[in-house]
Amino acid sequence: MIDCLSFILFIIAALAGYRVISNVPSLLHTPLMSGMNALSGVTVLGALLATALAVNSPSEFIGAAAIVLATTNVAGGFLITDRMLKMFK
């Protein structure tokens, strides 16, 4: 079974992340996205480490989901930044 403390930490982190992102004005979202890609890369590394240290299958599954979501965030951030930069050409 998933460690209760890890699950609670995961839920709190998800809610805090949603709260922070939802408060960013849309005018600032795209410029901040390019700067946040580096931070998202750190998130991918953290997810990889957490998955490597997982002791049971449900924790490994949540870690794998975190890797996929964080990697999608990094790729999407680069795509949006590239699209924004093409608008200025």
What gap in Å lies between CA 78 and CA 56, rounded to an integer?
33
- pLDDT, residue 1, reads 56
- pLDDT, residue 15, reads 92
Read off the pLDDT of each residue in 14-30 and give the average, rounded to a whole number.
78
* All residues at 6 or more sequence positions from 43 whose CB lies less than 8 Å from its CB, including other chains: 66, 70, 73
Read off the pLDDT of each residue in 18-44 and give the average, rounded to a whole number.
75
pLDDT one-digit tens code per residue, 43-89: 888 889 888 888 888 888 888 998 998 888 888 878 877 887 787 77
